[in-house]
Amino acid sequence: MASNKRKVMLPHTMGKAGIALMQSRDDIETIIYSAGISQAELLPMLADVAGIALSGTPYKQAEMDASPAMQVVARIGVGYDAVEVPALSARRVPLMVAGTANSTSVAEQAFHLIIALAKLNRAMDALVRQDKWAQRHAVPPMELAGKTVIIIGFGRIGTRTARRCAAFDMSVQVYDPYVKPEAITAAGYTPVKDLDAALPNADFVCIHCPKNPETVNMFDARRFGLMKKGAFIVNTARGGIINEKALYDALKSGHIAGAGLDVFEQEPTPADNPLLSLDTVISSPHMAGVTVEAIEAMAVATSKNILSVLDGAPIKENTINPEVYG
């Protein structure tokens, strides 16, 4: 006898609390799939699925075509560059994201990278480990107080990073053409209208904007040339917003003093990526939003997102394409 249960697919890497929430529903059949599943394996599984949660798995036109019963697609996170939104919208399928579930974790990592770069953590640690204490005064660290940071993107994460920078007495400037200058001013920061004009005065640039055609290669050789000599850049958003070759050249020449990178153009980034050969680069494997707390919070938020659509009461503020509700 055919089951009346609606099928929902969840990746095996999803936080246990989110999986438990989905499995607690008697009207849902929960299917756990490998987060590293190939497209060839995934497509046949989608035939009668009503909802799917995605970790890093792409979901584009081919996946949409294979999903005639799909009602909701949800990202366990906030980035969605691996999802072809128009393909979903054409079928009136909402794409959901985890809202603020990992915003604090990403903001903390971004600010950690700012501190680590300013305090030369990598170099100082090496002096101790290599018994080179006598060289400790050669290039001293700097204070953050009084330094200028430009936050690129003033959304869920950028607003939180701005607060952390301000708490350390940094001068916070914000560039986000989609946020009204009055809103930035009201938050206590300085709005930047012309990014190119502001870059020469910034000690730090911290990227928190989405990756899209407008932001790909946003920081290229030209923009690095505009930055102050000795400035630092941090990216916990998406690889590709920074042109890696241009960054390497700027770091190698000494024009840019250091970079903190949680994301890369290709992930996993090759071990022979030239950027990894530089002592002025601090990296992490796209883990800014992955903490003990965020894993569970994102999992629960994702399950709630999926269930909200299946139950007919979608959480619209977490929907990337709310026009589908029309």
> Within a 10 A sphere around the Cβ of 240, how many other Cβ atoms?
19
Residue 4 has what pLDDT?
86
Superfamily (CATH H level) for 103-283: NAD(P)-binding Rossmann-like Domain (3.40.50.720)
In this structure, what token pair is assigned to residue 322?
A: 């709310």
Res. 79 pLDDT band, cuts 50 70 90: confident
Average pLDDT estimate for 318-324: 97
* 99/318 Cα distance (integer angstroms): 6
| Domain 6-101+292-325, CATH class in plain words | alpha beta
Instruction: Give the SS3 label for residue 289.
Output: coil
Average pLDDT estimate for 201-221: 97
Q: Give me the residue spans of the domains in the chain.
A: 6-101+292-325, 103-283
DSSP 204-245: EEEE-PPPSTTTTTSB-HHHHHHSPTTEEEEE-S-TTSB-HH
Res. 7 pLDDT band, cuts 50 70 90: very high
Query: Which residues lie across from 32 on neighbouring strands?
Result: 10
Q: Do domains 6-101+292-325 and 103-283 have the same CATH topology?
A: yes
| Residues 6 or more apart whose Cβ sits within 8 Å of residue 82 | 54, 56, 57, 58, 59, 60
DSSP 80-91: -TTB-HHHHHHT
Can you state the percent helix, strand and coil of the chain, rounding each to 5? 40, 20, 45
Residue 326 has pLDDT above 90, yes or no: no
* 212/238 Cα distance (integer angstroms): 10
- pLDDT digits 0-9 by tens, 159-189: 999 999 999 999 999 999 999 999 999 999 9
* 302/255 Cα distance (integer angstroms): 42
- pLDDT digits 0-9 by tens, 263-280: 999 999 999 999 999 999
Residue 151 has pLDDT above 80, yes or no: yes
Residues annotated as catalytic (active site), given as ranges = 238, 267, 286
Predicted TM-score (pTM) above 0.85: yes
| Residues 6 or more apart whose Cβ sits within 8 Å of residue 152 | 158, 175, 176, 195, 205, 206, 207, 208, 209, 218, 237
Res. 1 pLDDT band, cuts 50 70 90: very low
In this structure, what token pair is assigned to residue 119?
A: 């305090």
